[in-house]
Amino acid sequence: MRERVFFELRLRRFGVWQVAVWLVAAAAVVATAAWAVAMFDSQAPSGRVLVVAVAAGLSLATLALALSLARVEAGLLTCSDGVWTFFRDNGARRSGTLEVSLDLGAFLLLRLVERRRTSVWLPVQRRGVEPQWHALRCAVYSPPPVAAGARTPAFPAE
């Protein structure tokens, strides 16, 4: 039987995530503006108003989405007996299983999935947690603990 894994990490730095979100948002706004400029000349005056309105609406929606994604609250990420819990600094608590959505070596985008299938996205960067980075990666990729009384086969089934 494997030992129970307990892991704890304070998440408070999200600079890499925030820069990435704003770069993608800026690229989307620039692409929308380029589309509007390309469409503007080929439209009648009434169509030009529609092109500008669509481009403005898409740009505002993109910026609102980027603002909500870039805002990540600090907290404490723990794992005990295969159950991951994120305690936000405001006191909210979310528990469930943890999935790795993106692994870039020095950056992990984790998804904490609760029983009711809601999820919390946790961007974790190596910078700021260097002493615990290896332990985090080990905990994230380790298989869940074997339940008490469960038997594992001596030889894998074929």
Q: Could you read off the pLDDT of 136-151 as tens digits, one per residue?
A: 998 888 876 665 555 5
Q: List the CATH number of the domain containing 89.
A: 2.30.29
**75: closest CA among 120, 105, 126?**
120
Mean pLDDT, residues 109-118 taken together: 86
Helix (H) / strand (E) containing 130:
helix 130-141
Entry pTM: 0.74
Q: Is residue 146 part of a domain?
A: no
Q: Is residue 153 part of a domain?
A: no
Does residue 81 sit in the same domain as residue 133? yes
Q: Give dist(CA 89, CA 74) in Å, integer.
A: 6
Q: How many domains does the chain have?
A: 2
Does residue 81 sit in the same domain as residue 49? no
How long is the chain? 158
Does residue 136 sit in the same domain as residue 87? yes
**132: closest CA among 120, 121, 140?**
140
Residue 26 domain boundaries: 15-70
Q: Could you read off the pLDDT of 48-67 as tens digits, one per residue?
A: 889 999 999 999 999 999 99
